[in-house]
Structure 1
Amino acid sequence: LGLYMVGALEEMGELPDHDFQDNMGTLVAGIFRAVRFGATSAHGVANMVRFNFFEESGAFTRDEATGTYRVDFDRTREAVNALSQKIIRFQGDGDYDGVVAFVEEYGGIRPQLQADLDRLAEIGIPVDIVYEQGLSVLGLGG
């Protein structure tokens, strides 16, 4: 819903120096990063819902030859709007059963994505980076 609101503010002229495409590209990249942590927590399931809904909506496509993904910015905006509408409708209607069915359909890691995540793990791209910090790292004691 946050990205939906950013798009609405941009359309209203409230964000004159803003490029919505930057947010959409970051959103899709962020989903890829986040799902590498897993999809069992509430945040993980939410990311998988977005990923699968956006993929189904054509917000991005996967090139079978290279295994890379390409964002379609127009379709991403449409997918953000459609998913936001679904979420608001579920909430407004108090449709618990609808939410459960929606999460069951969209909330898991599908085989192609799992294969891509496995490929990332095999080549050693870290899930998260931890930096050594402190005075001792700088040679200043401590």
Structure 2
Amino acid sequence: RFKNILKPIANACIREEQKEYVDFEPYYTHIVCHECCHGIGPHSITLPGGKKSTVRMELQECHSALEEAKADIVGLWALNFLINKGLLPKSLSKSMYVSFLAGCFRSIRFGLEEAHGKGQALQFNWLYDKGAFILHSDGKFSIDFTKVEEAVESLGREIMTIQAKGDKPAAQSLLQSRATLTQPLRVALEKIEHMQVPVDIAPIFGTASKLLANN
């Protein structure tokens, strides 16, 4: 995915001076943090009237997209936290954001009807509106490193507050306002559309296939 999808997307959509930051290590480490961060934040909640419930039950059809966005954005926050604690190298401090930006365009291609695509559109538009993502006149994007950290933290806070309250109207409002195909996203997707870049890759597990064939 990194070599055949993310790198070509980055070459088409990321400004020349930041392309060097698109790297496999932050890309892969963020995937790990994403999966870990599904376990962070509220799951079982108590509603204002004292009723016990779950985030999934209260947010219903909004849950999946919001949960994928939470895992992504909190995973990005977690990377920064680990860097600040000296547990990850400082060399990731810029590359993780630029690699994430390129990854936004990859995931949005799954479509806004799919949880990952919708959640990614929410994240992109939030960070763009906060000035963390910049669209330049040449149709390419860059990160404003002075704004991205706060923008990431603010979205993580917003999503987890909605989850903690089981606030479906707030979840609907957030998704309706941000999980949309905005003009900056259209610019990027139109660039990618003219390239022969797959939407995703189906892995072939050779060893597993042989083992299954022998049973």
Fold agreement, TM-score > 0.5: yes
What is the Cα deviation at residue 120 of structure 1?
Answer: 2.4
Alignment RMSD, CA only?
Answer: 2.3
Structure 1 length-normalised TM: 0.80
Could you tell me which residue of structure 2 aligns to residue 7 of structure 1? 80
What is the Cα deviation at residue 74 of structure 1?
Answer: 2.5
Give 1:32-51 correspondences, 5 Å limit.
32-51=105-124
Could you tell me which residue of structure 1 aligns to residue 186 of structure 2? 114
Amino acid at match of 2:106: R
The 1-side partners of 2:85 and 2:188 are apart by 38
How many residue pairs get aligned? The number is 133
Could you tell me which residue of structure 2 aligns to residue 75 of structure 1? 147
The 2-side partners of 1:120 and 1:99 are apart by 30
Change over 3 Å in CA distance of 1:75–1:132 after alignment to 2:
same
Larger % of helix: which? 2
What is the Cα deviation at residue 62 of structure 1?
Answer: 0.7
Q: Which has the higher contact order (CA 8 A, sep 6+)?
A: 2
The 2-side partners of 1:12 and 1:132 are apart by 38
The 1-side partners of 2:113 and 2:90 are apart by 38
Change over 3 Å in CA distance of 1:115–1:5 after alignment to 2:
closer
- 1:34–1:47 Cα contact (<8 Å) kept: yes
The 1-side partners of 2:124 and 2:83 are apart by 23
- 1:24–1:77 Cα contact (<8 Å) kept: no
Q: State the secondary structure of the residue aligned to 1:61.
A: strand
| Equivalent position to 2:173, from 98, 101, 107 | 101
Structure 2 length-normalised TM: 0.55
Q: Where do 5+ consecutive residues of structure 2 fail to align?
A: 1-73, 207-215
The 2-side partners of 1:19 and 1:112 are apart by 26
Deviations for 1:6-52, whole angstroms, at most 9, x for unmatched residues? Answer: 21222222325552212111111100111123221011110000010
Q: Where do 5+ consecutive residues of structure 1 fail to align?
A: 135-142
Deviations for 1:56-79, whole angstroms, at most 9, x for unmatched residues? Answer: 011111112x11111112312111
Could you tell me which residue of structure 2 aligns to residue 54 of structure 1? 127
Deviations for 1:87-128, whole angstroms, at most 9, x for unmatched residues? Answer: 111112221111110000001111342243123213444434
- 1:63–1:69 Cα contact (<8 Å) kept: yes
The 2-side partners of 1:15 and 1:129 are apart by 29
